[in-house]
Amino acid sequence: MPVSEKEFIALVNENRGIIYKVIRLYINQEEDTRDLYQEIVFQAWKSYPRFDGRSKFSTWLYRVGLNTVLTFKRKPVVVIPHEDLASLHVAQTKTNTDESEALYVAIRQLPEVDRMIITLHLDGYENEEIAEITGLTKNNTAVKLHRIKDILIKKLKAE
């Protein structure tokens, strides 16, 4: 499916919030955020000829973003102490409330796969789409999602 650079940029701009959400849950440093955003867009551009349209572009972009972030995380990075997580600032999240920030902090404490599942759920993806992105079965996704919600509720009530 050939696509012009202009069309691709329009699709990415329409869905850039997805990229920032994925990055925000896995990366702590603003410099890495900028670099990783560019890397995700680059990887999406390289992979776009293989996008077959069976899923929504946003679903496909989410998967590209997650794969890129997880690959990036395998490289050595500076670890920020847990106490500092709540004070992190990412320019794209200017409208956060204290409650949503507490939720993001709690989500960041989850294992990577759980983080991915709950983030997709909070972004409105159905279990079937989450299963497609994560490679899990629909039933396993539903079970994990239920458990993740329970964990998050307990973490948020403890604060």
Whether the predicted pLDDT of 140 surpasses 90? yes
Whether the predicted pLDDT of 144 surpasses 70? yes
- What is the distance between the alpha carbons of residues 79 and 87, in angstroms, rounded to a whole number? 14
Q: Please state, as a whole number, how many other Cβ atoms lie within 10 Å of the Cβ of residue 76.
A: 6
Full residue range of the structural domain in which residue 84 is found: 1-89
In this prediction, residue 32 has a pLDDT band, given cuts at 50, 70 and 90, of: confident
Same domain, 84 and 113: no
Query: Which whole-number Å values give the CA distances from 86 to 83, 106, 148, in the listed order?
Result: 7, 10, 20
Domain boundary among 55, 89, 123: 89
In this prediction, residue 138 has a pLDDT band, given cuts at 50, 70 and 90, of: very high
Tell me if 26 sits within 8 A of 73, measured CB to CB.
Answer: yes
In this prediction, residue 84 has a pLDDT band, given cuts at 50, 70 and 90, of: very low
pLDDT, mean of residues 81-105 = 52
Domain boundary among 89, 113, 134: 89
Count of structural domains, the chain: 2
- What is the distance between the alpha carbons of residues 52 and 50, in angstroms, rounded to a whole number? 6
pLDDT tens-digit series, residues 43-53:
999 998 888 88
In this prediction, residue 97 has a pLDDT band, given cuts at 50, 70 and 90, of: low
Same domain, 16 and 78: yes
Tokens found for residue 153: 């509720």
Measured over all CA atoms, what is the biggest interatomic distance in the chain, rounded to whole angstroms? 51
Domain boundary among 89, 106, 135: 89
Same domain, 7 and 84: yes
| Chain center to CA of 41 | 14
> Can you list the alpha helix ranges (DSSP code H) found in 48-109?
57-73, 82-85, 98-108
Same domain, 75 and 101: no
CB neighbour list of residue 92: distance below 8 Å, 6 or more residues apart: 17, 20, 24
